[in-house]
Structure 1
Amino acid sequence: MEEDKKIGEKFDVFVIGSGIAGQTAAKVCVEAGMKVAVADRREFGGTCANRGCDPKKVLLGPTEVWDTAKQLQGKGLKKPPKINWEKLQKFKRKFTSAVPIETEKNLEKLGMTLYHQSPKFLDDNTLSVEGKRVHAKKIILATGYEPHQLPFDGADHLMESDDFLKMKKMPKSILFVGAGYVGMEFAHMAARAGSKVTVIDTADRPLGPFDEDLVQELTEYSKRLGIEFIFKADVKSIKNGKKNFKVHYEKDGQTKKVKASKVLNTAGRVPAISGLDLEKGGVDYDKTGIVVNTYLQSKSNPNVYACGDVSDQDLPLTPLSGRQGNVVGENIVNGNKKKLDTPVIPSVVFTLPNMASVGYSEEEAKARYKNVLVQEGSVPDWFNAKRVNAPVYAYKILLNERTEEIVGAHIVAPEAAETINLFTMAINNRLTAADIKKMVFTYPSWGNDIKSML
């Protein structure tokens, strides 16, 4: 393009992406006296704060209240409250509306130059952004994830997670294509907000990475909540009818259809790299993201680093993104001296009840250790579950029999997202079952229950 020939600015560091990873790396560099630019094609602040974890958790709040009230109906409460989705969205915006402006103000105050477009590589150190040709000694890719695009006819009718999180009214019926983290979380929210919910997936169960036994407990309860599952099904097309969308799918060799007012793509997310022209920059990548070394530096272009979800390292989680951003920033400032030190990291699905996991799965533990102790149980009769009338409470804890160290923990429970943090601390500090049992926790509390799980 003729515009690309215009002389643009030269930077020490150019960051593509303004989420936690990109911001952290940029701040380390600018505080070291480097000239830094940050670009983003969307609102500044990244996915988590604007259209991910934070707004999702705000929307989840009233459904938690509804769920507790529903379980205690007739046990001190007359009936559960009605969720007003429109007012809930207004409340959510109090957390998200200021994020882009405040992020930009903070970055500009530090002396950074901001661009509101996703750059494209022209060569190893040159980018095209906002019609300008920009040169940078180091380029940081922190573009995160984006929804995996589905290939069938009518896929353009699909809404995405962004749309759900800003949806003004809950539809009468909604179908989720994909039964992973996002699909299950949204399905639980929608069902409690009064929508008729269907979840369709090619697998034979939801939440593939999580313990099969505990997922089965969650699935059965989800059905009682009113969620309909269609497994081992392949969506072939979506057609827009007069009142509803018609989703045609193939199952057991037969073509069937299901109707819904709204249809969402929750089939997973992929690295957001498709528009960067990485080939021109000599940056290698695969389906997991930018291929980097232990310093989070591109293996094919030493002038490029990647951090956060878009790198091919570890899990796509916000706390880890900040760690990676810090590693990248320090390696650019000081030379490659710092490697990513990743502790054992918990994962949570914010369904109600929560599904939480940390450490090895049962299969992984048995493959790694000679003898594994499996402590498991379904315990809705334990006090903490009974006092809120929770229908699901189950766990599976894995110990290395030789050392009695905890090596894996899997929980489905109303407060599993909090309880799993105790097991995370135990595994990272190589605590044994005896170490946990001799501790004194508050009682009665969900945290205290971990001693009974061992």
Structure 2
Amino acid sequence: MKKSFDVVVIGTGEAGSAVATRCQAAGRNVAIVDSRPYGGTCGLRGCDPKKVLVGAAEIIDRKRRMEGRGVAGDVRIDWPELIRFKSTFTDPFPQQTEELFVKEGVETFHGRARFRDERSIEVGKDVLDGDHLVVAAGAWPRKLGIPGEEHLTRSDQFLDLQELPRRIVFVGGGYIAFEFGHIAARAGATVTILQRGDRPLKRFDPDLVARLLQRTHDVGIDVRTHTKVTGIEGAPGNFRVTAATDSGSEVFEADMVVHAAGRAPEMDDLDLSSAGVEFDRHGIRVNDHLQSVSNPAVYAAGDAANSGGLPETPLAQYEGGIVADNLLDSNQHTADYRGMASVVYSIPALGAVGMSEQEARAKGLNFDVKQADTSGWYSARRVAEPASMYKVLIEKGSGRILGAHLLGPEADEFANVFALAIRSDIRADALRQTLFVYPTQASNMAWMV
């Protein structure tokens, strides 16, 4: 069946949902398509369910840190029960999401989308014509090109495990490896992380990463750098992971092997070339308005767009809003990526906001670096957290906050304060004079800037 719409959106995550609901509310006739359960990565396969598991792991870790400091007794993670609790968040979400679209008048479709030409897509037996089409299909584990990669467990599959394997190897040293690895270790698994390069978590400050690595080692996680996985063989419960190292070849045995080597835009089967849409491995090539540089009828947002933004949920939602505004207002809006924050939900959390030292120097900026190990500060000592540090970049003369790098208790919430400061151009002097609630992490800010 052939149907025509003002806007056709591919993907029901944060970016696609923002476009569809805002355009429909403005009187446009909108369709939305997804091949998987409605709701996107964050609500179903990423941020939200992951943070439920992190919360349980934090309880275990905090209890262990506080032993001998007034806390006693046994506590453990009941993995099947934890997954059942996680499912109370994820199981209702697809239906709730689709019902919201229907209530607002967005027409919903299920199936793989494929472009037929510059202004239409095919979904099963339906052909959807659109004055504009928006690709917000999210990301998927990137192909590694190694023998046996079909044995890899994806992060979404990990989140649905009914039993936690005893030995887990993570291929790659990014967000997934450190977040899920820290969870699994607190739940009793033996965890190994294999990183092909010289250090993991390359988006983050190397000094803070080094301290997190030490903390990671202290909880029993084996992190190997310069270790390139060359093959996986076996079956669940009996895998052999072969890796090339500086000293030769090494074999790691595991009950499960998890893909943690990065994600790529999920668009291989969209047939973008049929629509004349240019793209590369980072996504659809877009201009400042998030419009395809080669097909003005097509826009992209979130992981699908090669926009220069971080692969973060708030950014996807923000870009979805920018696309909606441009569809409704003839390309009058551009994205502002200042003060983007990113957090690894390891234990403790690792955060970054704004520029790194390398980026600030590359721009020729003149700045001071304020940094300290804060494990002896009250905010870390009261919860017995030995890994607590910060590094803040402050422009000389202006007092402008260029970047903030945080490791320790509540680093995620603290990153929000610095994101606000950078995005709203709140200078160091103003932060020093702010009367924050004490004792909180934010009350440390006067000493940090």
- TM-score normalised by structure 2 residue count: 0.97
Query: 1:419 is matched with which residue?
Result: 414
Q: Name the CA distance, whole Å, in 2 between partners of 1:216 and 1:269.
A: 24
Q: Name the CA distance, whole Å, in 1 between partners of 2:29 and 2:435.
A: 52
Q: Name the CA distance, whole Å, in 1 between partners of 2:105 and 2:396.
A: 55
Q: CA deviation at 1:426?
A: 1.8
Match of 1:296 among 290, 295, 307: 290
Where does the alignment leave 5 or more consecutive residues of structure 2 unmatched? Answer: none
Moved more, 232-241 or 332-341: 332-341
Q: CA deviation at 1:113?
A: 1.9
Query: 2:40 is matched with which residue?
Result: 46
Q: Name the CA distance, whole Å, in 2 between partners of 1:302 and 1:343.
A: 26
Q: Map of 1:343-382 to 2, 5 A cutoff?
A: 343-382=338-377
Query: 2:87 is matched with which residue?
Result: 93
Q: Name the CA distance, whole Å, in 1 between partners of 2:429 and 2:17.
A: 42
Q: Is residue 264 from structure 1 mapped to residue 258 from structure 2 by the alignment? A: yes
Q: Name the CA distance, whole Å, in 2 between partners of 1:15 and 1:272.
A: 14
Q: Map of 1:98-177 to 2, 5 A cutoff?
A: 98-177=92-171
SS, match of residue 255 in structure 1? strand
Match of 1:285 among 279, 282, 287: 279
Match of 1:431 among 403, 422, 426: 426
Task: Assess if the C-alpha contact under 8 Å between 1:180 and 1:206 holds in 2.
Answer: yes
SS, match of residue 239 in structure 1? strand
Query: 1:3 is matched with which residue?
Result: none
SS, match of residue 275 in structure 2? coil
Q: CA deviation at 1:58?
A: 0.8
Q: CA deviation at 1:392?
A: 0.8
Task: Assess if the C-alpha contact under 8 Å between 1:125 and 1:136 holds in 2.
Answer: yes
Moved more, 132-141 or 412-421: 132-141
Q: CA deviation at 1:253?
A: 5.2
Task: Assess if the C-alpha contact under 8 Å between 1:296 and 1:311 holds in 2.
Answer: yes
Query: 1:4 is matched with which residue?
Result: none
Q: Name the CA distance, whole Å, in 1 between partners of 2:285 and 2:38.
A: 25
Moved more, 242-251 or 414-423: 242-251
Residue type matched to 1:387 in 2? R
Q: CA deviation at 1:242?
A: 8.2
Q: Is residue 14 from structure 1 mapped to residue 8 from structure 2 by the alignment? A: yes
Q: Name the CA distance, whole Å, in 2 between partners of 1:201 and 1:304.
A: 37
How big is each residue's C-alpha offset from its partner over 1:9-28, in whole Å with a ceiling of 9 and x where there is no partner? 12221111111111111112
Q: Name the CA distance, whole Å, in 2 between partners of 1:126 and 1:425.
A: 40
Task: Assess if the C-alpha contact under 8 Å between 1:115 and 1:130 holds in 2.
Answer: no
SS, match of residue 306 in structure 2? coil
Task: Assess if the C-alpha contact under 8 Å between 2:56 and 2:77 holds in 1.
Answer: yes
Task: Assess if the C-alpha contact under 8 Å between 2:153 and 2:256 holds in 1.
Answer: yes
Q: CA deviation at 1:428?
A: 2.1
Query: 2:203 is matched with which residue?
Result: 209
Task: Assess if the C-alpha contact under 8 Å between 1:247 and 1:258 holds in 2.
Answer: yes
Q: Name the CA distance, whole Å, in 2 between partners of 1:370 and 1:138.
A: 41
Q: CA deviation at 1:80?
A: 4.9
Q: Is residue 70 from structure 1 mapped to residue 56 from structure 2 by the alignment? A: no
Q: Name the CA distance, whole Å, in 2 between partners of 1:157 and 1:362.
A: 39
Task: Assess if the C-alpha contact under 8 Å between 1:73 and 1:80 holds in 2.
Answer: no
How big is each residue's C-alpha offset from its partner over 1:292-318, in whole Å with a ceiling of 9 and x where there is no partner? 111111111111111122111111211
Q: Name the CA distance, whole Å, in 2 between partners of 1:333 and 1:405.
A: 35
Query: 1:394 is matched with which residue?
Result: 389
Q: Name the CA distance, whole Å, in 2 between partners of 1:270 and 1:131.
A: 28
Report the CA distance shift for 1:25/1:241 in structure 2 as closer, same or farther (over 3 A): closer
Q: CA deviation at 1:117?
A: 0.6
Residue type matched to 1:398 in 2? L
Q: Is residue 221 from structure 1 mapped to residue 208 from structure 2 by the alignment? A: no
Query: 1:452 is matched with which residue?
Result: 447
Query: 2:24 is matched with which residue?
Result: 30
SS, match of residue 33 in structure 1? coil
Q: Name the CA distance, whole Å, in 2 between partners of 1:242 and 1:357.
A: 36
Query: 1:341 is matched with which residue?
Result: 336
Q: CA deviation at 1:342?
A: 3.0
Task: Assess if the C-alpha contact under 8 Å between 2:168 and 2:189 holds in 1.
Answer: yes
SS, match of residue 377 in structure 1? strand
Q: Name the CA distance, whole Å, in 1 between partners of 2:427 and 2:328.
A: 40
Match of 1:193 among 187, 209, 217: 187
Q: CA deviation at 1:397?
A: 1.1
Instruction: Give the paired residue count.
Output: 448
Query: 1:384 is matched with which residue?
Result: 379
Q: Pairwise CA RMSD of aligned residues?
A: 1.4
Q: Is residue 59 from structure 1 mapped to residue 53 from structure 2 by the alignment? A: yes
Moved more, 314-323 or 176-185: 314-323
Task: Assess if the C-alpha contact under 8 Å between 2:291 and 2:298 holds in 1.
Answer: yes
Q: Name the CA distance, whole Å, in 2 between partners of 1:295 and 1:256.
A: 48
Q: Name the CA distance, whole Å, in 2 between partners of 1:134 and 1:387.
A: 58
Task: Assess if the C-alpha contact under 8 Å between 1:214 and 1:412 holds in 2.
Answer: yes
SS, match of residue 77 in structure 1? coil
Residue type matched to 2:295 in 1? N
SS, match of residue 56 in structure 2? helix
- TM-score normalised by structure 1 residue count: 0.96
SS, match of residue 279 in structure 1? helix
Moved more, 23-32 or 92-101: 23-32
Q: Is residue 443 from structure 1 mapped to residue 441 from structure 2 by the alignment? A: no
How big is each residue's C-alpha offset from its partner over 1:208-248, in whole Å with a ceiling of 9 and x where there is no partner? 11111110000011001000011111111111168420001
